[in-house]
Every structure is written in C-alpha cells, then in structure tokens.
Amino acid sequence: MIEQFQHKLTNSFMLWFDNYLLTKGQAFTNTTGNFYNYTDTRIGSSYKAYGSPYKQWVADSSIAGANIPNGVYVDGSFSGRNDGVILDFDNGRALLETNSSSLSVTGSFAVKDFNIYYSNETEEDLIVENKYMVNSRIPSISQSYIDPYDQAVPAIFLSLASMDNRGFALGGLQETSVRGNAVVLAENPYQLDGVLSIFADSKDEAFNAIPMTGNPFNEYYDLKDGTYSYTDLKNQYSDGKPFYINDSTTSKLTDKARKSLANDLYVGFIDFDIQQHRYRHQ
Amino acid sequence: MKLPADVQKSLEKQVPKVLKRDFESTFKNKFEELKNEMIKEFLTHPVTIEIKDGPSASNISGTLGGATNLFAFIGFNEGDDPITPILEILQNTKYRRTKENKGAQEFTVDLPQIKEIFSAAPMPWASGRSWAQGIEVGISGIGYLLRKNSSNSRSGAAIQSRTKVRGGKFQNVPYISAIIRKYEKKFSKLK
C-alpha cells in the first residue's frame, strides 16, 4: 500500500512531539558511561551487542546542548560508523562488528527523560498492567545494560484515534480533524507536571507534513545519513500545508485512582485535536 | 388626512414604549419555549437517561454494545449526579437586549459554550477530562476498570491481573455539541 494521509501524520506527529519535548523542556541528560555486552539473537552473528544502562538516546542534533553520539570508545580507541559500529538509538546500545564479548566499551550520549512510543493499545491496557520495566533516569551504583525491545518507563505513548472530514470551502477543501492522544507514565509528579505543562501550551503550534521516506532512522534505529536535525528536515517539507494543533487539553489520573491501581507511576493524559486543511486523495 | 404635527410627534414618542413591551413579551415567550425544548432534548437524550438511571441502567444509548452501562463504564460512584451541573448550565441560558432604535429591538441569546459544559462534566478519575466530550469522541475503559478494582480487590493488587474491560469498541454518539449547535441555529432565527 502506498503512503496515506494517516501514515504521513503519524510520522510527522512523532518527530514533532519528540523535538518539541526535548526543545521546550530540555528533557534530556548528557551521560557518559560503560556499555555492557549481552546476547541478542535477533541481530546478525557478525555483531555483538553492547548496551548502555538507558534506552532512547537523543538523535536530533537541533536540540541545543544534547550530546549526539557518532560512535563509541572500544578499548580506549574511538570507533564510528565507518568502523562498522551501528548505534541503536532506540535501545540505547552499540552493535559492534566483532566476535569478542569482552571488549571495554564506553560512550557519551544524551538520554531522553521520557521514552516515546507509538501505541495501538487502549489507555486502560497501557496504564493498568504492571508490564513495563522501569528504566530510571537516576543513575544507580550497580549499573548494567537495559534489555532491548521491551518498552520501558518513564515513557509517553502516542496514538492517533478518530479522524473526520468536514467541508471547509467551495471546491472540495476539507477540514480534516484527527484526535491524538498521549498517555504519560512518569516516575514523579515533577516530571509529569513538566510534560503536561509543555503540551498544554502547544495549542496553535504547527508542524510540517513529513512523509515516511523522510524518517531519519533505519531498521537498526541508527541514523540513515549519520546525522539528523529536525529543524533541517522539517524545512525540506515546508509545502505550506502543515498540520496544526487546534486544541490541546491535559489531565492527570487522580491520586485516588492511581492508588487503586497500586501503581507507583504518575499518569497523565494529553488530548490533541490536530487539523489540516486539504483536498482529499492528496 | 394628515395628522397635526404635535399629535404625530406625540405618537412617535409613545408608540415605541407600547411596542417595546409587546415585542419583549412575544420574544420572551418564544425564547422560553425554545429553551425548554433544548432542555427537554438534553434530558430525553438516551445518554442522559442512561447516566441518570445510575449503576443499574441498561445501555439504551447503544454506546457499549449492551456490555455494561455508561454510569459504570465512565466510573461514577453510586449516588453521583453528573447530569445536574449540565442541566443547570442549560437552564442558565438567557437573553439580553442589545439594540433599540425607533421601536425596533434586537436581542442576543447567551447560549452556554460547549467548552463550558465540558468543564462542568469532569471524568471521575481525571478532572481535566470531560465525560460529556468523551461521549462524542470516545472514552477509554479506565473508569470501569478502576471501579472493578475497588470493588473486587481489597488488597488493591488487581494491577497484576488482566481485567478485560469490554468486548467491543466504545461507539461515539453526538451529544452536547450537536444539541448546542442545533439550538444556536434555532435561536438565531427567533423573531
């Protein structure tokens, strides 16, 4: 199937949301540390996985002050992509083209305060089951790698729900409204209030429509071109038909409700009304 | 026959005063009639009836495929009265005279804002969210699950067990926004 309106919106919304949170909230921490070897049967046998203690590194070089990695130090020497290193920004790890499992690997990177995921799960499924590993952003004494692939909190789960078209102008111009939701799972009230405050103020923001081909990540969640700047990317797609946040409302799960879930996480919701004026089938 | 100038002048002075009372009285009657019609439409809406009927209601709104009812699904507590705050806002619909010129009068009806009504209808588990808006755009099953947890689980450990909230999808239906938009049009045509 060729790319549809909803596909383009999903891609654009995810990239915008990530950039907006990191820019407005400086929601990241620059970190330096050891990487730990582990076995991952999903990757090719010519690679070894060395994981950092944190998932989801910042990849966007337009975030001021964020340390975007280009490689790692292997036994004290820098190894970059030209040396066969793959940086997996989503799982917070480096894949090294080696047979050795005992290398000393270190690196510097910026870790996001919140992991960001796209989800099709219902809100109740997201918040009720105690299914997430907690990947606290507070460093602990006994550090190790974080398991890949599983979703970890603190996190924000984005989804796009209903969509409807209304006639807007003669000639077939439509006002397309899409309801977007974000479920925020935070470690503490400070984090939660911060995110909700940032996105409550996102009303009237606009973001460019970036097609899936413009997504900066490859299948390993490394950068396709070795570098990515949201600012540069969005400027490539400034066709004058941006999406805009027509409305944004935030709310928190009450403390009483939270306690009845016996959940240590602080839960918030952001409801977006995203609009675009367009001709259908375009 | 031409009226003497002083008689004509006197009439011009008196007529607006007399007509003013008649105009306002006629407008008021029509306004009250329409306002009552709007309130009746709200009170007889299947969603309103179902919620008003409380925890033992049947799903006459068809929003949940008959699986449970809206009162329980949204997560209200027994004894809650979520309808009255909305009713009070609708009852507060008023008109005011905004123009008067040589006997002609113009009235403006202050209908409640949709957002104002949504604000008066908070979710029992997340005060920033509106159940009335949720009826139109979709509601998650969090409220239902919370109620289940609090009634079934004394230990509060239900988080570890998967509770199936519902079999099917919540079916959105037009509600407050549709009523307000409909009566916006009707009130604007009042003469």
Q: Read off the pLDDT of residues A111-128 as tens digits, 9 standing for 90 and up.
A: 999 999 999 888 888 887
Q: What are the chain A neighbours of B144 within 8 Å (beta carbons)?
A: 124
Residue A152 to residue A41: CA distance in whole angstroms: 20
- The stretches of chain A forming alpha helices (DSSP H) are 5-25, 123-128, 189-200, 230-236, 255-260
Q: Any chain B CB within 8 A of the CB of A254?
A: yes
Residue B89 to residue A156: CA distance in whole angstroms: 36
Helix (H) or strand (E) holding B178: helix B176-188
- Flag if B141 and A124 touch (Cβ within 8 Å): yes
* Phi and psi angles of residue B130, each rounded to the nearest 5 degrees, phi first: -115, 130
* Phi and psi angles of residue B156, each rounded to the nearest 5 degrees, phi first: 75, 15
Which residue, among B105, B108, B107, has the nearest Cα to B16 in the 3D structure?
B105
Residue pair A280/A172 in contact by the 8 Å Cβ criterion: yes
Lowest mean pLDDT among B63-77, B95-109, B117-131, B159-173: B159-173
Residue pair A51/A91 in contact by the 8 Å Cβ criterion: yes
A257 vs B125, B162, B165: nearest CB: B125
Q: Is the pLDDT of residue B153 over 60?
A: no
Q: What is the pLDDT of residue A126?
A: 83
Give A 172-191 residues with CB within 8 A of chain B: 179
Distance spanning both ends of chain A, measured CA to CA = 15
Counting Cβ atoms within 10 Å, is residue A50 exposed (0-12), middle (13-18) or buried (19+)? buried
Q: Which residues pair with A156 in a beta bridge?
A: A116, A184
Q: What are the chain A neighbours of B124 within 8 Å (beta carbons)?
A: 254
Q: What is the pLDDT of residue B127?
A: 80
Rg (CA), chain B: 25
For residue A118, the distance in angstroms to the closest alpha carbon of chain B comes to 17
Lowest mean pLDDT among A7-21, B147-161, B162-176: B147-161
Residue A159 to residue A122: CA distance in whole angstroms: 9
B145 vs A128, A130, A269: nearest CB: A128
Q: Any chain B CB within 8 A of the CB of A197?
A: no
- Hunting for tokens 């991952």 — which residue is that? A40
Which residue, among A258, A132, A58, has the nearest Cα to B156 in the 3D structure?
A258
Q: What is the pLDDT of residue A111?
A: 96
Residue A79 to residue A68: CA distance in whole angstroms: 15
Structure tokens at A229: 């700047």
Q: What is the pLDDT of residue B19?
A: 65
For residue B32, the distance in angstroms to the closest alpha carbon of chain A comes to 32
Q: What is the pLDDT of residue B38?
A: 96
Enumerate the domain spans of chain A. 5-279
Structure tokens at B92: 């507060």
* Phi and psi angles of residue B176, each rounded to the nearest 5 degrees, phi first: -55, -50
Q: What is the pLDDT of residue B150?
A: 62
pLDDT digits (tens, 9 = 90+) for B32-84: 999 999 999 999 999 999 999 998 899 999 998 887 899 999 989 888 999 99
Residue pair A136/A191 in contact by the 8 Å Cβ criterion: no
- Ranked by mean pLDDT, the top range of B83-87, B122-126, B169-173 is B83-87
Q: What is the pLDDT of residue B167?
A: 44
Where chain A has pLDDT below 70, the residues are 129-130, 139-141, 260-263, 281-282
- Flag if A249 and B157 touch (Cβ within 8 Å): no
Question: Which of residues B156 and B40 earns the better pLDDT score?
Answer: B40
Q: What is the pLDDT of residue A196?
A: 97
CA angle B27, B30, B33 (to 5 degrees): 145
Q: What is the pLDDT of residue A120?
A: 85
Residue B42 to residue A257: CA distance in whole angstroms: 30
CA angle A187, A192, A197 (to 5 degrees): 165
B138 vs A161, A251, A263: nearest CB: A161
Q: What are the chain B neighbours of A179 within 8 Å (beta carbons)?
A: 137-138
- Hunting for tokens 């495929």 — which residue is that? B65
Counting Cβ atoms within 10 Å, is residue A177 exposed (0-12), middle (13-18) or buried (19+)? middle
Q: What are the chain B neighbours of A119 within 8 Å (beta carbons)?
A: none
Q: What is the pLDDT of residue A36?
A: 95
- Flag if B138 and A162 touch (Cβ within 8 Å): yes
Q: Is the pLDDT of residue B176 over 80?
A: yes
Q: What are the chain A neighbours of B129 within 8 Å (beta carbons)?
A: 249, 251, 269, 271
Structure tokens at A177: 């409204």
